[in-house]
Structure 1
Amino acid sequence: MASSIPQFQTLITVEEFRKLVNEHFEKQISEGQLYDARDIERFNTVDLYTLMFIQHGQFGTSFNQERALHVFNAAMSWRKRHNVYDISTDEFPAEYIDRQVVYFKNNDKYHHRLLHIIISKFNKGRENKDTVKRFLTYNFEQQVREYPGEKIVILFDMSGTGIGNLDYDLVKFLISSMQLLYPGLVAYILLFNMPFLLSAAWKLIRTWLASEADQFVKYANNKSVGDFIPPDQLPVKMGGTADDDN
C-alpha cells in the first residue's frame, strides 16, 4: 500500500558529513583525478544535494559511516569516468525524445515526479545499451540539477511487455543507479501491470537488490494504481484522466 512508502532518516548533519568526506578523501579530492571538481563543489555547497548522500541507505538508529563513504566514492568516481557533469541532449538522436520511452510527466500522491519507462517499447538486442544508459543518466541528472533533494518515482509501465522487451543489463544499471550512482534520488519503484510470464524473471532481478531495497519496490494494476497516483496525474491508458501525450 502507499502508506508503506519508505521514510528516510537524517542521522548526521550536512556540515558533519562534508567534514567527514573531505577529510577521508582529502588526497583524492586534492589530486583531482578520481573526482570531477565541479561535483565536489556542488557536494560542498548545495545542502539538498549533500543530504541525498546522507539519507541514502540510512535505515538504522545510527549513521552507517562505512556505507555512506562507499556510496560517495562509487557515485563520484563513476561520474568522473563517464563525464556526467557535461551530459546534454545534444548527445542523443531525436528518436530518444520522440519515442517517449523514458520521460518525466506528472506526480504521485506525495508529489514525487514520475519518471515513466515504457518497457514494451524496448527492443532487447537492437538497442544501443550504452546510449540508453546515457539517456537514463541524463534524465536522472536533470532531476538532481533542477530539483535538488526531491525524490522521484520510477514508474515501470509493463503493459504488453514480453521477454523480448526485458533487458537484464539495463535493469541492473537502473538498480545500480538507485542504490549507488544517484543516492537518495528514488522514493520507490512502481511496477505497473507486470505480466505473469515475467514473474520468474522479476524474482531473479530482486536478488540483485540490497536486502532493505525490497521495500522500495511496489506493485500496481489498473485497480490499485490509485493508491499511489491520483487519477488526474495518471494517463488515460493507465486508468486515469490525464492527457496521454508526453
Structure 2
Amino acid sequence: MPTDQEPTAEQIAEVRTAILKKLEAEPPAEPFHPNDLKRLKDSDLWISKLLKIYEFDLEKTNTRLWDNLIWRQSFGVNDITVNSLNQEFLNDGSIYAHNKDRDGKPLLIISMKKHSKSRNLDDLIRIIVYWVERLQQETNLDKITLFMDMTGSGLSNMDIDFIKANIGIFETKYPYVPNYIIVHELPFLLNAAFKIVKTFLPEEALRILRVTTKKDIDQYVDKDNCLKLWGGNDDYEYKFA
C-alpha cells in the first residue's frame, strides 16, 4: 500500500542516477522522448510519486520507470494530438473529463452506455491516455478519479477486454494516478459480469473501488459536481474543448 511518507532527496537521486546510467550503458532501440528525459532530469515529482507507490523499493521503481519510458516512446504518448485521435470517440461523449470529486480530483468519465465491443480498442486507449496526460499536465501530476458511468448500459455495452485494458493502463502506466475507481449505477443484469471483472483487478484497484447509486454518490462527488443523470445538479452536456 502506498505511503504518505515522502522520499528523501538521496532516494530520488539514486533512481535518477540508475536510470541515466542504464540509458548510457544500454540505450533503447528507440531513444526516449526528449520531454520524458527532461522530466526525468529536471523534476523530482515523477520519481517521487513512483517511489511512494512502490513503497520506496528502489529496484522496483527503477524497473517500472524504465518500462514506463519504453512504453511512452513506443505508444507515442508525447506525440498524441487532438487531430491524431479517433474523432468520433473524441466527440461522442463516451470518454471525457468534467468536474471533480470531493477530494478535488478531476473526474475522468467513461459512459459505458455509449460503448460497444465493435469499437477499436487501441483507439479507445489512446483517448484515455490523451485525457490522463492532459489532466496530469493541468494538475501537476495530481490524482484522477476514474468514473465508470454505467447508467442505462446493458449487456451489449459490457466489454471485459476494454475494462481490463482501461484498468491495466492505470495499474502499470499511471500507478500513482487513481484516487478512486467509481462504478456508478451498475444495472442488476450486469452484476455477474462485474463479479468477473473484480477477479482480475489488482489489490490496489479493489482498495479504491466504489460502487455507487444516486442515493450515495454524493459521498464521493458532491451534488454540484454530479450530472443530473447521476442524481446531481449539473446539467452539463459534453462538447469537446
Look up the match of 1:22: 17
| Paired AA for residue 120 in structure 2 | N
Deviations 1:89-136 (A, max 9, x none): 111243223211111111111100011110010011x21111111111
What displacement does 1:164 show? 1.5
Does the CA contact (< 8 Å) of 2:16 and 2:41 recur in 1? no
What displacement does 1:180 show? 1.1
Look up the match of 1:113: 106
Does the CA contact (< 8 Å) of 2:113 and 2:154 recur in 1? yes
Look up the match of 1:90: 83
Does the CA contact (< 8 Å) of 2:15 and 2:61 recur in 1? no
Q: Are residues 144 and 223 of structure 1, via their aligned partners in 2, closer, same or farther at CA, if it must alter by over 3 Å?
A: same
What displacement does 1:78 show? 0.9
Q: Does 1:9 align with 2:22?
A: no
Q: Kindly, what percent of the aligned residue pairs are identical?
A: 25
What displacement does 1:56 show? 2.1
What displacement does 1:188 show? 1.3
Unaligned runs of 5+ in 1: 1-5
- Of structures 1 and 2, the one scoring higher in RCO (CA 8 A, sep 6+) is 1
Does the CA contact (< 8 Å) of 1:231 and 1:239 recur in 2? yes
How many correspondences in the alignment? Answer: 236
Look up the match of 1:237: 229
Look up the match of 1:186: 178
Q: Are residues 33 and 181 of structure 1, via their aligned partners in 2, closer, same or farther at CA, if it must alter by over 3 Å?
A: same
Unaligned runs of 5+ in 2: none
TM-score, with length taken from structure 1: 0.87
Does the CA contact (< 8 Å) of 1:71 and 1:183 recur in 2? no
What displacement does 1:159 show? 1.1
Does the CA contact (< 8 Å) of 1:74 and 1:180 recur in 2? no
| Paired AA for residue 29 in structure 2 | Q
What displacement does 1:216 show? 1.4
Aligned counterpart in structure 2 of residue 78 of structure 1, from 58, 71, 91: 71
TM-score, with length taken from structure 2: 0.88
Cα distance between partner residues in 2 of 1:67 and 1:207: 24
Aligned counterpart in structure 2 of residue 38 of structure 1, from 17, 35, 56: 35
> For structure 1, which segment, 187-196 or 143-152, has the greater mean C-alpha deviation from structure 2 after superposition?
143-152
Q: Are residues 46 and 121 of structure 1, via their aligned partners in 2, closer, same or farther at CA, if it must alter by over 3 Å?
A: same
* 1:194 alignment partner, SS class: coil
Cα distance between partner residues in 1 of 2:201 and 2:67: 16
* 1:189 alignment partner, SS class: strand
Cα distance between partner residues in 2 of 1:56 and 1:66: 13
What displacement does 1:205 show? 1.7
Cα distance between partner residues in 2 of 1:205 and 1:151: 23
Cα distance between partner residues in 1 of 2:86 and 2:156: 23
Q: Are residues 40 and 50 of structure 1, via their aligned partners in 2, closer, same or farther at CA, if it must alter by over 3 Å?
A: same
Look up the match of 2:201: 209
Aligned counterpart in structure 2 of residue 54 of structure 1, from 40, 51, 72: 51
* 2:210 alignment partner, SS class: strand
